[in-house]
Structure 1
Amino acid sequence: MTITGFVTYRQVDDYDVAVSNRLRPTAAVAVDLVVLTIEQNRLVVLAVRRGVEPFRGRRALPGGFVLDDEDLLQAAARELQEETGVRSSDVHLEQLATYGAPDRDPRGRVVTTAYLALTPTLTDPVAGSDAAAVELLTVSDVLAQPDALAFDHHRILTDGVERARNKLEYTPLAAAFCAAEFTIAELRRVYETVWGTTLDPRNFHRKVTTTPGFVEPSGSTTTRDGGRPARLYVRGDARTLHPAMLRPRG
Structure 2
Amino acid sequence: MTKTGNEDSIRVAVSAVTLTLRRESEEESPHIVLPLVRRTREPHLGDWALPGGWLDAQEGLEEAASRTLAETTGLAPSYLEQLYAFGAVDRSPTRTISVVYWALLPSDAVDRQIAAYRAAGHAPENVQWFEVADLPPLAFDHAQIIHYALWRLRNKVGYSRVAHGFLPPEFTLAELRDAYEAILQRRLDPANFRRQVEASGTLIPTDRFRTGSHRPARLYRYNTDVELADRGPLAPEETRTP
Q: Normalised by the size of structure 1, how large is the TM-score?
A: 0.79
1:26 counterpart = 2:13? no
Given residue 149 of structure 2, which amino acid in structure 1 is its aligned partner? G
CA distance in 1, matches of 2:214, 2:138: 42
**3-state DSSP of counterpart to 2:207:** strand
Maintained 8 Å contact 2:51/2:69: yes
Worse-superposed segment, 24-33 or 178-187? 24-33
Counterpart pick for 2:104 among 102, 118, 121: 118
What corresponds to 1:92 in structure 2? 79
* Residue correspondence of structure 1 range 19-168 to structure 2 within 5 A: 19-20=2-3, 22=5, 24-40=7-23, 41-87=30-76, 90-106=77-93, 108-121=94-107, 122-123=110-111, 124=114, 132-142=125-135, 148-168=137-157
Given residue 126 of structure 2, which amino acid in structure 1 is its aligned partner? A
* Residue correspondence of structure 1 range 226-241 to structure 2 within 5 A: 226-236=213-223, 237-239=225-227
Identity %: 39
CA distance in 2, matches of 1:80, 1:24: 27
Given residue 183 of structure 1, which amino acid in structure 2 is its aligned partner? T
Aligned in 2, Cα 1:57/1:20: closer, same or farther, shift over 3 Å? closer
Given residue 53 of structure 2, which amino acid in structure 1 is its aligned partner? G
**3-state DSSP of counterpart to 2:157:** helix
CA distance in 2, matches of 1:150, 1:99: 14
Structure 1: stretches of 5+ with no match in the other structure: 1-15, 242-250
Deviation string for 1:42-99 (max 9, x for gaps)? Answer: 1111111112222121111101110111111111011001111112xx4310000000
1:216 counterpart = 2:216? no
Counterpart pick for 1:191 among 153, 172, 180: 180
Worse-superposed segment, 23-32 or 186-195? 23-32
Structure 2: stretches of 5+ with no match in the other structure: 24-29, 230-242
CA shift for structure 1 position 22: 4.9
Maintained 8 Å contact 1:50/1:132: no
Taking only aligned residues, the RMSD between alpha carbons, in angstroms, comes to 2.3
Deviating beyond 3 angstroms after TM superposition, the runs of 4 or more aligned structure 1 residues are 20-26, 124-129
Deviation string for 1:106-137 (max 9, x for gaps)? Answer: 2x1000110000001222487999x8411110
Greater radius of gyration (CA): 1
**3-state DSSP of counterpart to 1:55:** coil
**3-state DSSP of counterpart to 1:75:** helix
CA shift for structure 1 position 195: 1.1
CA shift for structure 1 position 21: 6.1
When the two structures are aligned, how many residues end up with a matched partner?
214
**3-state DSSP of counterpart to 1:140:** coil
Q: Normalised by the size of structure 2, how large is the TM-score?
A: 0.82
